[in-house]
């Protein structure tokens, strides 16, 4: 089935239908509790989750996409298990970097960020990632952010500075630091009362009151909004809290992102959200581990920061990249190399050859099926802490055993959960003698002459060939 068709079914039809299924069996590691727990929707109906999206000041790199692809696998596993979902992923189109680079380029913020937002969408489609149900932008939700700041000020959790900026007072929230375990380092919130962080991002040892509203500066150019505290713009951490409140409420099921967002971004989100509007906020925190390239941290200076476009220029497909990105468990560091891309190409080719002639059921049919044959274990590996590496191992381990309709339904269920689409298998030249035997077998089957059909099948097998029947015809491949 074409990727766009699969995406349309997943994103628009099934995800909103809420078929009953086995999604309650999905278990996932929770960053806050430090244990694997079952995922269950708080309302008992729909699993509602938020993913921190891209900052659109340039093309996303493969490290970013490891997180987005893993989030995509989680959504697919939930939906294939029968769970209705609501997936919200934001676009950060105003922050220090977008303003800095748009001003340097001499372009409006809107025009500059739209270019990279569209590029991100293009890359997501190439990687076969499902579109989120809601994709709000920070710029379009400035009023909601201002309202949240007013609430925090009124409740004594924030204060305005002399220059018109507004800061969150972390000493007003005793739970601050629990998500990132700052409390294990004897955090003394009283010492931070006069320390402020005005930048959007800062290092882990810089525990300070963080900015909610940044007063306008000359270097911001025309990128500012009016507020009760003067001209300026929201701090980066605030946007997600405001959009989560609008689209998911005060308590929702899961919040995800890369491990680099645990502190300060998610720690700050948690504090300002609970202080402004109460609720539990996220019931589950889901983070993916960093990606290495050739054993080292990605860096443009060392030529190890790859985008999807960079790899396409070297002849690698987006699906081969996706295969590598899901090849290791999300909680383990993945080392991305050219050798791993070669292995991905071979693996996808092997899967394609094995499945040649097999018709993939539609997504709804896969979602409703309870019998996955010999591949049931592979899907269970995905249910258990999204163990993609183990699922792939089970997939290949049982590939030669697949024979029944249930087996192939299970094969395509696991493949769809992983978001993998297979390349067209390379053509194999079939000798005339073999082609004639296959034709005779097909004709015997059409005439319901099962004895003759079996005889031709055995003769083909003795010569090293097998016929794979489809609904409209058959394919002859080496055994």
Q: Looking at residue 361, which CATH number applies to its domain?
A: 1.10.730
Whether residue 270 is found in the same domain as residue 321: no
Specify if 320 maps to a domain: yes
Please report whether residue 426 resides in a domain: no
Residue 19 in any domain: the answer is: yes
Strands 296-297 and 285-288: unpaired
Q: Are residues 218 and 302 in the same domain?
A: no
Residue 170 and residue 207 in contact, taking contact as beta carbons nearer than 8 Å: yes
Token pair in block for residue 409: 């339904």
Q: How many Cβ atoms from other residues are within 10 Å of residue 98's Cβ?
A: 24
Same domain, 238 and 253: yes
Residue 51 has φ and ψ, to the nearest 5°, of -120, 130
If one counts the domains in the chain, the total is 3
Domain assignment present for 274:
yes
Structure tokens that stand for 142 in this block: 């400035």
CATH number at residue 272: 3.40.50.620
Does residue 164 fall inside a structural domain? yes
Q: Based on the domain organization, do 33 and 48 belong to the same domain?
A: yes
Both 327 and 405 in one domain: the answer is yes
Indicate whether 273 and 312 sit together in one domain: no
Element (H, E) at 285: strand 285-288
What is the pLDDT, as a whole number, of residue 204?
56
**pLDDT of the chain, 479 residues: tens digit per residue:** 333 434 433 443 333 333 334 444 899 999 999 999 999 999 999 999 999 999 999 999 999 999 999 999 999 999 999 899 999 999 999 999 999 999 999 999 999 999 999 999 999 999 999 999 999 999 999 999 999 999 999 999 999 999 999 999 999 999 999 999 876 444 555 454 557 877 777 655 567 899 999 999 999 999 999 999 999 999 999 999 999 999 999 999 999 999 999 999 999 999 999 999 999 999 999 999 989 998 888 877 777 899 999 999 999 999 999 999 999 999 999 999 999 999 999 999 999 989 988 888 776 777 776 789 999 999 999 999 999 999 999 999 999 999 998 999 999 999 999 999 998 766 666 788 888 888 899 888 888 898 898 898 888 888 888 887 765 677 787 76
Sign for the pseudo-dihedral over CA of 418, 424, 427, 430: positive
**Domain range for 440:** 432-478
Considering the domain architecture, whether residues 160 and 303 belong to the same structural domain is answered as no
Q: What is the pLDDT of residue 206?
A: 64
Structure tokens at 381: 């590996």
Residues 126 and 102 in one domain: yes
Is residue 427, in this structure, part of any structural domain at all? no
3-state secondary structure of 256: strand
CA distance 154 to 359: 61
Task: Verify that 453 and 392 share a domain, yes or no.
Answer: no
Measure Cα distances from 165 to 95, 212, 213 in Å: 15, 8, 5
Q: Encoding tokens for residue 39? A: 């995922």
Locate 273 and state its tokens: 């959200």
Pairing of strands 254-258, 285-288: parallel
Of the three residues 258, 288, 318, the one that is the final residue of a domain is 288
Residues 299, 221: one domain?
no
Domain boundary among 262, 288, 314: 288
In a domain, 410, yes or no: yes
List C-alpha distances in Å: 330 to 70, 239, 284, 298.
Answer: 7, 26, 16, 17
- Do 106 and 255 fall into the same domain? yes
Pairing label, strands 232-234, 46-51: unpaired
Instruction: Determine contact, residues 371/409, Cβ cutoff 8 Å.
Output: yes
Q: Give the separation between CA 421 and CA 148, rounded to whole angstroms.
A: 43
Quick one: tokens of 465? 């060939």
Locate 248 and state its tokens. 């998911």
- Please give the distance of CA 393 from its chain centroid, rounded to a whole number: 21
- Residue 98 belongs to some domain of the structure: yes
Q: Are 175 and 297 members of one domain?
A: no
């Amino acid at each position: 089935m074409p990727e766009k068709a699969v995406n349309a079914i997943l994103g628009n039809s099934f995800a909103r239908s809420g078929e009953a299924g086995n999604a309650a069996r999905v278990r996932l590691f929770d960053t806050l509790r430090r244990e694997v727990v079952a995922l269950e929707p708080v309302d008992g109906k729909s699993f509602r989750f938020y993913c921190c999206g891209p900052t659109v000041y340039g093309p996303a790199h493969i490290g970013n996409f490891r997180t987005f692809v893993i989030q995509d696998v989680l959504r697919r596993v939930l939906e294939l298990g029968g769970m209705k979902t609501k997936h919200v992923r934001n676009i950060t189109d105003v922050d220090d970097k977008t303003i800095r680079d748009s001003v340097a380029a001499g372009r409006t913020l809107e025009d500059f960020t739209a270019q990279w937002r569209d590029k991100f969408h293009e890359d997501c489609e190439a990687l076969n990632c499902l579109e989120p149900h809601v994709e709000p932008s920070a710029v379009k939700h400035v009023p909601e952010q201002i309202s949240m700041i007013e609430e925090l000020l009124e409740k004594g959790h924030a204060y305005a500075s002399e220059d018109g900026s507004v800061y969150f007072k972390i000493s007003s929230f005793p739970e601050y630091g629990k998500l990132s375990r700052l409390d294990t380092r004897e955090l003394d919130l009283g010492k931070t009362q006069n320390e402020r962080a005005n930048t959007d991002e800062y290092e882990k040892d810089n525990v300070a009151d963080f900015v909610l509203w940044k007063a306008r500066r000359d270097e911001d150019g025309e990128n500012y909004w009016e507020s009760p505290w003067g001209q300026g713009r929201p701090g980066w951490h605030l946007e997600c809290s405001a959009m989560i409140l609008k689209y998911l409420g005060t308590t929702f099921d899961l919040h995800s992102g890369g491990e680099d967002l645990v502190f300060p971004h998610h720690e700050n989100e948690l504090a300002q959200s609970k202080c402004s509007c109460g609720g539990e906020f996220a019931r589950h925190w889901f983070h993916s581990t960093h990606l290495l390239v050739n054993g080292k941290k990605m860096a443009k200076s060392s030529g190890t920061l790859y985008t999807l476009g960079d790899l396409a220029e070297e002849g690698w497909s987006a699906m081969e990249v996706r295969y590598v990105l899901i090849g290791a468990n999300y909680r383990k560091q993945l080392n991305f190399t050219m050798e791993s891309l070669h292995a991905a190409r071979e693996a996808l080719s092997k899967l394609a050859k094995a499945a040649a002639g097999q018709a993939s059921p539609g997504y709804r049919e896969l979602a409703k099926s309870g019998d996955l044959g010999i591949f049931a274990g592979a899907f269970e590996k995905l249910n258990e802490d999204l163990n993609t590496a183990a699922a792939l191992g089970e997939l290949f381990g049982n590939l030669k055993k697949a024979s029944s309709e249930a087996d192939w339904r299970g094969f395509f269920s696991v493949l769809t959960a992983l978001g993998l689409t297979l390349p067209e298998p390379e053509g194999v030249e079939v000798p005339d003698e073999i082609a004639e035997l296959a034709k005779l077998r097909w004709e015997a089957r059409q005439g319901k002459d099962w004895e003759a059909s079996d005889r031709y099948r055995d003769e083909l097998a003795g010569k090293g060939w097998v016929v794979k029947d489809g609904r409209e015809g058959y394919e002859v491949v080496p055994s």
